[in-house]
Structure 1
Amino acid sequence: MPSPPPPVPAPRSLSVSSLIFKCADDEKKNFKDDIVTFNIGGHIYSTTCLTINDNVDSQSLLSLIISNRTTTQLDKNGHYFIDRDGTYFRYILNYFRDKKLLLPENFTELKQLCSEAKYYQIDRLVDEIENRLNTTNEHKKQLEIGLNFTLISSLSQGGKILTLIGPLKLISLFHIEPIGKKFLKIISSYTDPNNISCQCTFPVDDKLISCQPFDQLQRIVLAKQARKMGLAVSYCDDYFYIPIERQIMLRDELAQLLLNGCHGKLLHTNVTYEKKSNSDHDASYSLVENWFVPNISIAKCLETNGPINNNGNIYSSTSMTNGL
């Protein structure tokens, strides 16, 4: 009689708990790798669920949308449709990807971007944008505080500057000699040079700035200080002369510096005509301009020892504005 066949081992089975965990892990993995596409005001953006969930709170709008916990409408292609300005969402999505806010140079729509970040309930991004807004607003305020002055220049002879009428501090726009810088520093230590108004004349041949304050007491005090320091002084009218390190720049050079490097504004311009004799050849034309320049730009000139480098060239607008 044949022997019975050997027993067949029972198939190995998985417990209910292991099946639940395995399904949960697979679902979680697939969810992370899922690609989700948004139609935001007609702009189409695709990313992964992982990119969204790694950057937002579980109760924020985008998280609720991709987990199907909202009634967000789908477009005809099955994309989540959000009725917002899609041009700003690119910056939000890049913020998720790069973990930092990268914006184009001279970006001027921070308020609109902040509004979008608030809509999507991205608190960390809202805080960063608001910090930038506060910094930008403070910088704008600083650019509105400054000095007003009048610049008179010749329309002939290459447009030479003839006169600068304004606060003594404006002399720092020119690359003055060390003794002149020391003079301004001493004056600034006991009075505000913004309040010392001067009429500075520019000789054609001499490397000097001839300054005469309007107020008689100022003239006496400043001329006395200039004598102590060995600066040239005209005794008859209490003029004092501050030496500079190069020839006086032309009007166009100074205008370029003011506009491109100092956030300056040309407020008003006028042409004056002066006829010295009956001959038209003796007539002269002068350009009279009213300018404004912020205090922080003047301070930058002082930090860099003036806007003119050793080669006699005006510093580029980049080098002048980096510290502003």
Structure 2
Amino acid sequence: MPSPSPPVPAPRSLSVSSLTLKCTDSDKQNFNDDIVTFNIGGHIYSTTRLTINENVDSQSLLALIITNQTTTQLDHHGHYFIDRDGIYFRYILNYFRDKKLYLPENFTELKQLCSEAKYYQIDRLINEIENRLNRTNEQNNQLQIGLNFTLISNLNQGGRILTLIGPLKLIRLFSIETIGKQFLKIISNFNDPSNISCQCTFPLDDKLISCQPFDQLQRIVLAKQARKMGMAVSYCDDYFYIPIERQIMLRDELAQLLLNKYHGKLLHTNITYEKNSNTNHDSSYTLVENWFIPNISIAKCEETNGLSNKNESIYSNSSMTDGF
């Protein structure tokens, strides 16, 4: 007679509660620390879920993507693939990390970046970019308001300035000695100080710029005042001389100063060749150039050179015609 089989233990009863996964605070932290990787138009970016969740609305595109609530494709590495310009996403991701928008100097693609921010539905970033766009547009508008003036340069064949003739405001390109600044502030009391031309002859051994008022009364008054202040005046009182500290010797140096430092625009150039002798070495040519300088650059230069006043500028705003 076969021996009886050993008793089989009754199956354990599993309760519903024992099958339910409990999500603890630690689990939530681990979820937020999970690394997510995006393939944005071929550019790969990795960050944590927490970085995304702290910076976007729960219903924005990136939040929905990382919670798998969209039909976003995965590339062959399992990265979330988004068919957008990946270059701009670096600025967006750094904005999340730093809580501030850092852009390269002279960044000119704010509109494109704003378009990307709108695609990802990042409202805070959109507002910051739009504020920057408004400030940039305002600055650009200010750069369109300014003064036109003419410079006449006599140069040798090497481009070295022999003589430079221009309006009084040409002096702002030089570092002016204290006595010269004081004298220019006196000139500011005239109704139209732009009616004073100045001429530089190089080399400037004495570092003086000769200035000649077109108006005869101005010539008499300013020559008298210049003498009283101890400044040099011509024998016939036609010129007074303003002392400077800096000299510009090359036309290219002068042009770069106007273009780069003062946001100037060269509007027109006319060249006249003058042969002073039978040798090419002594021949020269004359440049007649029309320039434009924005008012904001003029004001900045006045402030730098200590020539500006709070209530008035040494150069009348009414002289916004040819004549610098």
Q: TM-score surpassing 0.5?
A: yes
After alignment, is 198-207 or 169-178 more displaced?
Answer: 198-207
After alignment, is 196-205 or 95-104 more displaced?
Answer: 196-205
Distance between the aligned counterparts of 1:159 and 1:49, measured in 2?
63
After alignment, is 44-53 or 220-229 more displaced?
Answer: 220-229
Give the secondary-structure state (helix, strand or coil) at the position aligned to 1:179. helix
After alignment, is 242-251 or 36-45 more displaced?
Answer: 242-251
Change (3 A) 1:57 1:181: same
Question: 2:180 touches 2:243 (CA, 8 Å); kept in 1?
Answer: yes
Counterpart residue type for residue 103 of structure 2: L
Q: Aligned-pair distance for 1:117?
A: 0.8
Q: Aligned-pair distance for 1:53?
A: 0.2
Match in the other structure for 2:212:
212
Give the secondary-structure state (helix, strand or coil) at the position aligned to 1:180. helix
Deviations 1:108-150 (A, max 9, x none): 1111111111111111111222222233333333333333331
Match in the other structure for 2:165:
164
Q: Select the residue among 190, 197, 200 that pairs with 1:199.
A: 197
Change (3 A) 1:90 1:236: same
Distance between the aligned counterparts of 2:136 and 2:237, measured in 1?
46
Counterpart residue type for residue 160 of structure 1: I
Change (3 A) 1:129 1:208: same
Normalising by the residue count of structure 2, what TM-score does the alignment of the two structures yield? Answer: 0.73
Question: 1:177 touches 1:243 (CA, 8 Å); kept in 2?
Answer: yes
Distance between the aligned counterparts of 2:61 and 2:241, measured in 1?
68
Change (3 A) 1:138 1:210: same
Match in the other structure for 1:265:
265
By relative contact order (CA 8 Å, sep 6+), the higher-ranking structure is 2
Match in the other structure for 2:23:
23
Q: Aligned-pair distance for 1:281?
A: 4.5
Distance between the aligned counterparts of 1:25 and 1:15, measured in 2?
22
Match in the other structure for 1:82:
82
After alignment, is 132-141 or 153-162 more displaced?
Answer: 153-162
Deviations 1:182-240 (A, max 9, x none): 122233356475xx143322244443212224455655665565456454444757433
Question: Superposition pairs for residues 93-132 of structure 1, below 5 Å?
Answer: 93-132=93-132
Counterpart residue type for residue 66 of structure 1: I
- The percent identity for this pair of structures is 74
Question: 1:266 touches 1:289 (CA, 8 Å); kept in 2?
Answer: no
Question: 2:165 touches 2:199 (CA, 8 Å); kept in 1?
Answer: yes
Distance between the aligned counterparts of 1:45 and 1:199, measured in 2?
61
Match in the other structure for 2:66:
66
Deviations 1:38-80 (A, max 9, x none): 2222322222111100111112111122222333333344332
Distance between the aligned counterparts of 2:179 and 2:22, measured in 1?
82
Question: 1:114 touches 1:129 (CA, 8 Å); kept in 2?
Answer: yes
Match in the other structure for 2:297:
297
After alignment, is 263-272 or 55-64 more displaced?
Answer: 263-272
Give the secondary-structure state (helix, strand or coil) at the position aligned to 2:84. coil
Deviations 1:219-271 (A, max 9, x none): 56655654564544447574332222355644344234334433333333343
After alignment, is 250-259 or 219-228 more displaced?
Answer: 219-228
Distance between the aligned counterparts of 2:30 and 2:38, measured in 1?
19
- The count of aligned residue pairs is 287
Change (3 A) 1:259 1:93: same
Distance between the aligned counterparts of 1:253 and 1:50, measured in 2?
53
Distance between the aligned counterparts of 1:246 and 1:61, measured in 2?
59
Normalising by the residue count of structure 1, what TM-score does the alignment of the two structures yield? Answer: 0.73
Give the secondary-structure state (helix, strand or coil) at the position aligned to 2:126. helix
